[in-house]
Amino acid sequence: MRKQIAAANWKMNLTYQQAEKLLDEILGADIVLKNHQLTIFSVPYPYLLMTRSEVEEEFNGNYKVAAQNCHHKKNGAYTGEVSAEMLHSLNINYCIIGHSERREYNAESNALLAEKVNICLDHFITPIFCCGEPLQAREAGVQNDYVAVQLRESLFHLPADKIRTIIIAYEPIWAIGTGKTATTEQAQEIHRHLRSVIAAHYGAAVADEIPVLYGGSVKANNAKELFSCPDVDGGLVGGAALVAADFIEIIKALKQ
């Protein structure tokens, strides 16, 4: 079975004390993850070491820590930025790349994201690569073409042995933070499409290895249904990941 992943994206939320409390509550639930299951905490930069320390003290392999972004250059005069090299030096092994908010607010292009994917892989960091369409693309019925272009322009320069190591998160932009959620049929349809696009370029065996997460308003009360879809391998969770009880239920909803 592919990796089944509950990834928490805290975005720019929580004080240090609130972050510690939330982690303690989630980790205190003593959820025993199976070998094919992962929980990833994607936290603000100031909390990376604290989160890694808490996770490493309590668990041995199935709980991970991710950064929410990194710069596309190795180093240099980029005040305020954080490099993949810095993250690697902290033993941070995952990083979100291309979240829709960064695409929109920071004008991150598919070409730029290809550079970020490269530099993460160069530093042994697994990219959690985000793709997804805005409402106008969905309403026009071109969502399949829209996300296929994102994959091709940011990922398809990679050889098969590299692309099979990444995680993809599909996030319908029209469902992020809006309370709207794709139906299970919509989620399965586009997740299957994403996998077919990869299969057409790399072959079915490679496509079948890559986890594809759903990232649009995943909640405790809809996670089980969404995750039951054959091509949905968990979720990239925003608001619900800030509530311990909700995220605990989302972790428990992963395929067994």
Which amino acid, 201?
Answer: H
Q: State residue 28 phi and psi, 5-degree precision.
A: -70, -10
Nearest to 87 by CA among 38, 61, 124: 124
| C-beta separation of 102 from 69 below 8 A | yes
Chain centroid offset of residue 139 CA:
25
Axis-axis angle for helices 184-202, 143-155 (nearest 10): 40
Q: Kindly name the residue from 71, 171, 191, 249 that is annotated as catalytic.
A: 171
Q: CATH second-level architecture of 4-252?
A: Alpha-Beta Barrel (3.20)
Distance CA 104, CA 213 (A): 20
**End-to-end Cα, the chain, rounded Å:** 9
Q: Is 99 a catalytic residue?
A: yes
Q: Kindly name the residue from 71, 72, 99, 191 that is annotated as catalytic.
A: 99
Q: Give kind and range of the element (H or E) at residue 225.
A: helix 223-227
- Its pTM stands at 0.96
Domain spans of the chain, in order of start: 4-252
Distances from the Cα of 95 to the Cαs of 10, 23, 224, 233, in angstroms? 13, 19, 25, 18
| C-beta separation of 46 from 18 below 8 A | no
- The predicted pLDDT at position 22 comes to 98
For the chain, the 3-state helix, strand and coil shares in percent, each to the nearest 5, are 45, 15, 40
Distances from the Cα of 187 to the Cαs of 29, 38, 39, 122, 125, in angstroms? 29, 21, 21, 32, 27
H runs (alpha helix) in 80-155:
84-89, 100-105, 110-122, 135-139, 143-155
| C-beta separation of 135 from 174 below 8 A | yes
Nearest to 251 by CA among 50, 44, 56, 63: 63
> 9 has which bridge partners?
42
Q: What is the pLDDT of residues 46-55, one digit of tens each?
A: 999 999 999 9
From first to last of its 256 residues, what are the pLDDT tens digits of the chain?
899 999 999 999 999 999 999 999 999 998 989 999 999 999 999 999 999 999 986 666 899 999 999 999 999 999 999 999 999 999 999 999 999 999 999 999 999 999 999 999 999 999 999 999 998 888 899 999 999 999 999 999 999 999 999 999 999 988 776 667 778 999 999 999 999 999 999 999 999 999 999 998 899 999 999 999 999 999 999 999 999 999 999 999 999 9
Q: What is the pLDDT of residues 220-252, one digit of tens each?
A: 999 999 999 999 999 999 999 999 999 999 999
Q: Is 171 a catalytic residue?
A: yes
